[in-house]
Structure formats: C-alpha cells, structure tokens
Chains A and B, each alone.
Chain A
Amino acid sequence: MKLSPLEVMPAAAVAPVEAPATMLELVNVWKRFGEAPAQTVAVSNVNLRIAKGEFVTLVGPSGCGKSTLFNMIAGLLPPDDGALLLRGTSQRDGQMLGQVSFMPQRDLLFPWRTVLDNAILALEVEGVPRKVARERAALMLPEFGLKGFADHYPHQLSGGMRQRVALMRTFLFERDLLLLDEPFGALDALTRTRMQHWLLDIWARHWRTVLFITHDIDEAIVLGDRVLVMTARPGTIKSETVVDLPRPRDPSIVTSPEFMSLKRRLLDEIEEESRKTFAQEEAAS
C-alpha cells in the first residue's frame, strides 16, 4: 500500500518548518549534593533548549550552579533527575562523555606538551595518528593567532595565547556542541574584548552550536543569540532574553542604545539574584 505524503502527515507538518533542529535539550534537570540534613540543591528544575548553530550565553551570580550544569552536559556528572537530550535522543549517564567539546575555566594545558601537541590532545585520545593530527592542527594555527608558536611550551605564552591554545584544542575536538565555561574570565579587559570578537569570527566560519558561561553581562550580550539568566542557588533558569542585535557585531556595539537597554534589563535581573546569594551567605555564616 502506498500513501501519498499528504495522507501520512498531518497538514500542518507538511508546511515547510522553519524552526532549526534542536541540538541540546534539558528537561527538568536536578542536581543535589550531600546527604539529607546537610544537602544542598545545586541545580533545580532546569529546562532549556538550544537549536543547532545557536550561540547561547548563560549568566548568573557566582556559585549558582553554572559549572555543575556544564559538568552534567559534558557527561562528567550524572543528573539526579530529569533528562538530557542530544539531537532529540535521550542520553544515559556518562553517555555524553566524548560527545561535546568542553572547555573548562582554566586552560589546563599540559606543561610537557608543545602548543601543537596540546592542541591535538583530544584528537590523540580519539586515536587519530599523531602525524595526521599535527598536520591538521598546524593549518589552524594562523587562524588562532598562534602562527610560529607551534613548538613553544605553555609557560612561554601569555594568558591570552594560552586561552587560544585551549580554545583550539576544543575546536579540534570536532563535536557539534561547544561548551565554554568562562573562557576569558582570567583575562584583562582589553584582551578579553579582542578575544570575544575573534571568537565570533571563528564561530561564524565553523558554525558550531555554542553554550557559553560567563558572569560578564557585556560579554553575554555581545556574543549571544540568546542570554539565559540563572537564579541564585538552587540554580534554575530565571529568564531568557533574545538578543536581536545584527551580526556581525562590531566592538562599538556596546555603546548602541539597543545594547544599553538590554544590558539595563539584564543587570536588574542579575542584581536581584546576586542580592539573594549574598543574603544566603550572610545567613549561613
């Protein structure tokens, strides 16, 4: 028996669907630490959905469970409750390991490896022959501003360069989803701005889906398609703001009135959460 497409699908689905495919979805995710009386809830009831190719930034007061959330998405921590879906498929505990390119806050370069060999670490783990991996990485050096530094060791590099090596390592681990945990947090303001725009450049060319943690609101707005704000502990998604600033974004965008109004709104929200965190800490001490 053959059916025409119209008979198989409801009429609404036949119409061209514009919404891009979902890359990652978190449904009602919880994480608690410790046993009953002294238990802390790190992450509660997190629901979020990231489309393919989207750049989503996540801001929140310190200690709100951002990193816990990231560790869960990277597969390093199992969630206590809730489901994690990658490309629509539910993931069991530990299944996310090796599926997302994860970049933690510290660059974590290996001091005994050169810039090039640090960059290919993930490829080596995957079993790509060293020679092939090195050739592939060498081609990317100029793009990451590391031309001529292939054989340098991490201790010979500036903070910004080390961060770029770490980023290159993350990019060379070719997964569709990138998790960046405050990658520019330790850099000075000028270097940070330069790195942000450079990252946008790279992102535009490589077209990966990015989830980016930061505690810097400017950074969140400049980079993101959407800004998610997390609440104070127990962390959950408080709000979601679509950033409709045009791309490519210029460093001067931070002075535009649209940027300012977005920033004002987000600042108010985060300020409220910071106050809560502060009050919690006061009460605890």
Chain B
Amino acid sequence: MSKASLTTRVLRSSAFALLLVALAWELAVIAFAPSPRYLPALSAIGRDAWSVWPQLLACFNRTLLETVLGFALGAAFGCACGTVFTYSRWMERSVFPLFVVSQTVPIVAFGALIVIWFGNSLLAKVMTAFFLTFFPVTVNTLRGLKSCDPQRIALMRSFGASGLVMFVKLAVPSALPQIMVGLRLGIGLSLIGSIVGEWFGETVGLGVMLMEAMNGDLVVRLWVVMVACGVMGMLLYGGLSLIERRLVWWRSEA
C-alpha cells in the first residue's frame, strides 16, 4: 500500500471524523463559553467520568450484559418465528398480527408489568431488551426467506433436493443479508430496551445513572451517561458489522 493511500484512508475513516467533532466541540465551548448547563466542555465530561469511574464501569458492564443477552434471545426467537411464519401460512395469518399489535404498545407501558412478572432481576431487563429486538428480526427473516429466488428453488428441486436441504443450502444463505438488516435494527433497540428496563427498579446500570443524574440535576453526569451509551451502541454495532462481514461477504445480485 502506498503512503498516499494510507493517508487518505486515515482522513476518510470514521475515527478521524469522530476526532474532528470532539475537537470542534471543545473549541466551540472555549470560544463561546456557554453555560455548562446547556453545553459542558468535553474535557469537563471526561473529568466527571473519571471521578465516578468504578461506578461508571460497573454500570456500563451491567447494561452491556443485559443488552447482549436480550439481543441474543430476541434474535434467536425472531429468526425462529420468521422461519415458522415463512413455511406455515396459517401461523403467519393467525400469530403474526399479534406480534404487530404487541409492538404498538409502548415498552414503557409494559415496564411495571415486567417488574411484577420477573421481579427486580437481570431477567426483567433482558426481557425488555428482548421485547424490542425480536420484532424487527422476525419481520426481516420472514422477508428474507420469502424473497428466495423461485428459479433457484426450481433448480434445486430439479436436483431432487428435499425441503431441509433447500432450506440449509439455499433459503438461509439467500436470506442472510436481509436477516442482518433486522439484527442491525435490533441491536440499537435492545440497548434502548435494557436502559428503559432499568428505570423500573435497579441499582446498577446506565439507565439508573441516567435517572440519578436527572433527579440530582447533574447536567454533566447526564452527558457522561449519554456518551457511555453512545460508546456502547458503537461497540455493539461495530461487533455486529464484523460478524456480518464474515457471514455475508458476497455481493447480493438482482
């Protein structure tokens, strides 16, 4: 690789863009000196984060665990449901509308119910994350499996392929790009789910820190939590993209 192309790559990378935004933020605060209530300096947020570092780290890990567990459950359930709906018309007709209805009820309305059902446990937060994740995964799995090329299906049938062989060798790989779309939607939603879940009673977690900051009018702390959420979202999304590149590296064709 030539030196010039390396420079361009660095200049065009998202890390560089992030650095630029951080720099602009810091400079803007120095130049315009707004009240910290409206926009604290990035360095002030960093200092505040450092002062509560052990708590922040514990909260971060806890929320990450809830999110990942909820996402994994939701993804597995969504893929399974999408598959069942694809191959069973009556299941799609009878159960799928219930899925849609379930999503029209705001998750916040469910919060109290979930605490009653699952207590003040890890499982309760996992369930709220799960609840937001499974739907987009179901929809996209269903769409991906249904959009399998009928001519390729005919080709496999002419080879004498059974339903299972067809599913494993053709339907699943051709649905993967669409399933990944569902997973990408799901990962962001499951983070929301676990944070909202923490509002209904918990002692550790970014959602808890967020509530404390709001109640205590700690504006800088609020920013700390937001940045932490952003970092977690980026990590999760980045991890998923990495998996996607391993799984769905081929270009989709019309």
Residues of A within 8 A of B (CB): 71, 74-76, 97-100, 102, 104, 106, 108, 110-112, 121-122, 124-126, 153, 155, 173
| Inter-chain contact B251/A124, CB cutoff 8 Å | no
A164 CB → nearest B CB, Å = 16
Q: What A residues does B47 contact at CB under 8 A?
A: none
B33 CB → nearest A CB, Å = 55
> What's the dominant secondary structure at chain A's contact region?
loop
- Give the complex CA separation of A106 and B155 in angstroms: 10
- B32 sits at the interface (CB 8 A): no
Q: What A residues does B154 contact at CB under 8 A?
A: 71, 74, 76, 104
Q: What B residues does A153 contact at CB under 8 A?
A: 250
Q: What B residues does A122 contact at CB under 8 A?
A: 159
Interface residues in B, total, Cβ within 8 A: 20
| Inter-chain contact A110/B173, CB cutoff 8 Å | yes
| Inter-chain contact A126/B159, CB cutoff 8 Å | yes
- B169 sits at the interface (CB 8 A): yes
Q: What A residues does B251 contact at CB under 8 A?
A: 111, 155
- Give the complex CA separation of A138 and B250 in angstroms: 22
Q: What B residues does A110 contact at CB under 8 A?
A: 152, 170, 173-174
- Give the complex CA separation of A147 and B206 in angstroms: 58
- Give the complex CA separation of A254 and B35 in angstroms: 88
B205 CB → nearest A CB, Å = 40
Q: Give 29 CB contacts A-B under 8 Å.
A: A71-B154, A74-B158, A75-B157, A76-B154, A76-B158, A97-B157, A97-B158, A97-B160, A99-B160, A100-B158, A104-B154, A108-B149, A108-B151, A108-B155, A110-B170, A110-B174, A111-B250, A111-B253, A112-B173, A121-B169, A122-B159, A125-B160, A125-B161, A125-B169, A126-B159, A126-B160, A155-B250, A155-B251, A173-B159
- B14 sits at the interface (CB 8 A): no
A49 CB → nearest B CB, Å = 22
Residues of B within 8 A of A (CB): 149, 151-152, 154-161, 165, 169-170, 173-174, 250-253
Q: What A residues does B169 contact at CB under 8 A?
A: 121, 124-125
| Inter-chain contact B165/A125, CB cutoff 8 Å | yes
B179 CB → nearest A CB, Å = 13
| Inter-chain contact A104/B155, CB cutoff 8 Å | yes
Q: A74-B158, A111-B250, A126-B160 given; name 8 further pairs at CB < 8 Å.
A: A75-B157, A98-B159, A102-B155, A110-B173, A111-B253, A125-B159, A125-B160, A153-B250
- Give the complex CA separation of A104 and B151 in angstroms: 8
A2 CB → nearest B CB, Å = 44
Q: What A residues does B161 contact at CB under 8 A?
A: 125
Q: Out of B151, B159, B252, which one reaches A121, CB within 8 Å? A: B159
Q: What B residues does A76 contact at CB under 8 A?
A: 154, 157-158
Write the chain A residue with the least CB distance to B149. A108
Q: What A residues does B165 contact at CB under 8 A?
A: 125
Q: What A residues does B158 contact at CB under 8 A?
A: 74-76, 97-98, 100, 102
Q: What B residues does A98 contact at CB under 8 A?
A: 158-160
B156 CB → nearest A CB, Å = 7
- Give the complex CA separation of A112 and B159 in angstroms: 19
Q: What A residues does B156 contact at CB under 8 A?
A: 125
B150 CB → nearest A CB, Å = 10
Q: What A residues does B170 contact at CB under 8 A?
A: 110
B148 CB → nearest A CB, Å = 11
- Give the complex CA separation of A75 and B160 in angstroms: 10
Q: What A residues does B174 contact at CB under 8 A?
A: 110
Write the chain B residue with the least CB distance to A102. B158
Query: Which of B149, B158, B160: most chain A Cβ within 10 A?
Result: B158
Write the chain A residue with the least CB distance to B247. A112
- Give the complex CA separation of A110 and B160 in angstroms: 17
Write the chain B residue with the least CB distance to A155. B251
Q: What A residues does B250 contact at CB under 8 A?
A: 111-112, 153, 155
Q: Out of B151, B160, B252, which one reaches A106, CB within 8 Å? A: B151
B149 CB → nearest A CB, Å = 7
A15 CB → nearest B CB, Å = 40
Write the chain A residue with the least CB distance to B251. A155
Q: What A residues does B157 contact at CB under 8 A?
A: 75-76, 97
